[in-house]
Structure 1
Amino acid sequence: MIEKQIIERIQNAIDYIEEHLYEKIEIEDIAKITYMSLSSFYIVFSNVLGTTVKDYIRKRRLSLSAYDLVKSNMSILDIALKYQYCTYESYSRAFKKLFGISPKKYRNKNLYTNVFPRVNLTYQNLSGGINMINKEMNRDIIINKISSINSGFILDIDIDHFQQINEKYGYNIGDKVLIEVPERIKTVLNNYELDVDVTRINADEFVVIIKDKSKDFIEKISSEIINIMTKEFVFDEVTLSVTVSIGISKFTVDCNDEEVINSVKKAMILAKKSGRNRYKLLNY
């Protein structure tokens, strides 16, 4: 069992990492603030986050660098240096290993999603235990978007059997699926000239919020998102099929933000229970 106090220490480690992503980070310094030995810290961090501390740092830096590639005019070398890569070449190799394409091609593709956002640990209750830990991502962003819109639809897009993908093909392939799924979602949105973010909120879930559109339009978009996933995912010598289940909920300015999130989550679960690879719409 992992106690609540240990989780708080790991959250302190995450906070430290986030504050120093643009600087050199020594793992020993992170371990010190958790009051753990280096070896214990490595083990506990991996158990809680499902990834090593070095991988967490690497993915966060590369994800932020991807934002700069698409949203800024910085040179690729300057971006590399900003995220602690000493040379263009070392940055390009690391970026291509994670994203599957070079930084230059990623910039030209112009389809950014924050696939590896900051993780915030919360609890379903105070008893602890690994199953009681929520690894939240971008919850504040979603709530702010809901609060700023008079009426709209929220889509919760969940990758079906994602853990099985990790187990069968490895986490490197799982990461590439996490990168390509929102790119395909973004392609559908761009086809309709919708300037809408695709926001990762959990291990295998992405949220899209669309305002000023009809129910029929939202259902059409959802069907196209499901259909675009039917093309096989190909990563080097690995070819696999991926499907998604989509929960949809309508909301207005009078709705409670938390209840909107709960409603769309319920819709997504109903889509999965109905057989997956489909959408389910609930009116909050």
Structure 2
Amino acid sequence: MKRILTITTTLLMLGTSALSAAKPVKIALWQDGAPTKNGHENTEEKWDGPRVSEVSVPELWIYPAKKPNGQAVICAPGGGYKYLSTDNEGKMLVDWMNTQGITFAILKYRVPNGHPEVPLEDGRQAISIMRKKASEFGVNPDEIGIMGCSAGGHFAATLATMHGEERFRPDFEILLYPVISMTDITHTGSRNHLLGDNPTPEMIEKYSLENRVDSRTPPAFIVLASDDKTVDPLNTIYYVEKLQKNKIPYSLHIYPDGGHGFGFRDTNPYKAQWSGELERWLRSIRK
């Protein structure tokens, strides 16, 4: 009986992507306080297992590659703009990215709490910090990408399409089952946490990112499942349509099942396929 239990436990451990044992370099985004407040400044950060909410001190957790190839990816975990799922949409990716020679960073960003400029400020600052410290980590400052899952995908695509100054522009974007639109196909919870319960038509238009794509939008790699019941796949379709119209290179991968929120879990039936495609795509865009 004891042997069977041991084998079963081992198999269960092998069936789930392990969290990296690597220790990150943690950098606070704002040394003198963030420019825009979200109302969580005096609250204590809350951890519920792998989820963190009410972030008041945003940080960039950098996991350097031992043999850097020059690329860096900054990942924004999802969580409906309410919390951050830092494990399956963050830490599980560390070893895989580092093995490719990619310096990987998890962005512990502030949720908007109805202040949509807050996460955008954190994203711009994270890109700026990574560029300033590029040589320290063996990174090419022109090969820094942004990645995001679900609402984190909206975060990433916001940075890709509303980056403002060139120094804040990511060089590529990786989106997993992203929220894109704030229209009737949106994820309601994400929209409410981003824009408030009664957003104006102007705010809905502004943060529907299919409307923000232009010739300066970086190349995209996008993964999702067609049976996603949480975020309508039309979010991605609308975004890709605008990428196509603006002649922005993209690699789109839609699988028949997998649902929502699979991240880098082994339970996703297409993990090997999409991660293999991502590896090839990242190689193809190296400078």
Q: Do both proteins adopt the same fold according to a TM-score greater than 0.5, normalized to the shorter chain?
A: no
- Taking structure 1 as the reference length, what is the TM-score of the superposition? 0.30
Would you tell me which structure has more helix in proportion to its own residues? 1
Q: TM-score, normalised by structure 2?
A: 0.29
Q: Which protein has the larger Cα radius of gyration, Structure 1 or Structure 2?
A: 1
